[in-house]
Amino acid sequence: MTDQDGRPGPEREQARWFDDEAGPVVRPYAMTRGRTRTAAEGRLDLIALVIAESRAGEPIADQTLSPEHVDIVELCREAPQSVAELAAEFDLPVGVVRVLIGDLLDAGLVHVTRPVPPAELPDAQVLREVIDGLRAL
Amino acid sequence: MVFGRSERRRRSGPAEPVTLKILVAGGFGVGKTTLVGAVSEIRPLRTEERLTEAGRPVDDLHGVEAKSTTTVAMDFGRITVHDELVLYLFGTPGQDRFWFLWDDLAGGALGAVVLADTRRLADSFAAIDYFERRGLPFVVAVNCFDGADRYPAEAVRDALDLDPEVPVLLCDARERESARDVLVAVVEHAMRRGARHPEPALP
């Protein structure tokens, strides 16, 4: 699939069909079967936490899942992971991770927390806790 | 972070951590990643957005090969305040042409730091304009580079034409205490703003 960009001449293509310029061996959006959006987009802020609905060791039976889906569930079983952390951990674009998480939501394998918009911060107490936490650094 | 709570059920509320984010903006090379790294409990992580995500229709594959190699990186760090309260820091992509990503970052953010370098103050105009327009509380932190002339905070405020309520601090983004003080200033500013405008208007 990397030889479809038309840049290399035929002989070069033969000799080195795969090089750095070809990008990753699997293009990230191949993992999403070409999807760039998920219905859950609006819920998947970078700091939304993804929480597994199962425990470590339980089999993940869904045969439609890719290895990347399973990796995400397994990591989230250890501790809730933010969307940003999952993207960084698996070295995937945020858009790809969002689509994969959307699949896991549909399959009922994870749920996500909704980050609290500042307009809804319960009171100054949470912010005071943040300040205290920072001062303790 | 929150081990041993596996009995938690969907939407069970109280036990799930609250996550907050603060953005770190400013011109290229002004020290955004350095500041994030100075206070983060993890090595700053890097994640990428692909330009094909800028609202391109799903079935429009024309030019995807070229676009798929164009990525923009965001650095981020994490500070776990306690089991149920986690603060994330995001260094925003510096270049103007990646601003479509800022909306994604700024949505729901607690506040922002605009890092400035007195030798290149104009580089911070864009970020200041953005946060002013969006009504997001921000502070301006002047990263005191070795060898750069020092100016008093008030001179920087004048040069940037900032509202009187916007805190201006001098900092050294490499120093943990200094970076921490900048973040404390953001949260305090957000608190004051919250007290005055209980429901900040977000577009």
Cβ-contact B108, B134 below 8 angstroms: no
CA A117-A111-B84 angle, to 5 degrees, is 55
Query: Hey, where are the domains in chain A?
Result: 1-30, 38-132
Q: What integer pLDDT is reported at residue B201 of this predicted model?
A: 47
Look up the CATH number of domain A38-132: 1.10.10.10
User: CATH number for the domain including B41?
Assistant: 3.40.50.300
**Strand ranges across the sheet with B71-82:** B45-50, B71-82, B85-91, B18-26, B111-116, B138-143, B168-171
Q: Name the minimum distance, in Å, from the CA of A2 to any CA of chain B.
A: 9
At residue B145 the predicted structure's pLDDT band, cuts being 50, 70 and 90, is: confident
Residues of chain A with pLDDT under 50: 1-13
Please choose, from the candidates B20, B182, B32, the residue with its C-alpha nearest in 3D space to the C-alpha of residue B87: B20
pLDDT digits 0-9 by tens, B173-183: 999 999 999 99
Q: Percent of chain B beyond pLDDT 90? A: 50
pLDDT digits 0-9 by tens, B34-52: 999 999 998 878 776 655 4
Minimum-distance CB partner of A84 among B68, B88, B111:
B88
| Cβ–Cβ gap A126/B85 under 8 Å | yes
Cβ-contact B168, B156 below 8 angstroms: yes
DSSP class per residue in B54-93: TT--TT--TTHHHHTT-EEEEEEEEEEEETTEEEEEEEPP
Q: Is B65 within the bounds of a domain?
A: yes
* Total domains in the fold of chain B: 1
Q: Is B52 within the bounds of a domain?
A: yes
Q: Is B24 within the bounds of a domain?
A: yes
Q: Name the minimum distance, in Å, from the CA of B195 to any CA of chain A.
A: 8
Distance, CA of A91 to CA of B52 (rounded, Å): 17
User: Measured between CB atoms, does B68 come within 8 Å of chain A?
Assistant: yes
Q: What integer pLDDT is reported at residue A23 of this predicted model?
A: 59
- Please name the residues between 82 and 121 in chain B that touch chain A, using a CB distance below 8 Å: 82, 85-88, 90, 104-105, 107-111
pLDDT of B7 > 50? The answer is no
ipTM above 0.85, yes or no: no
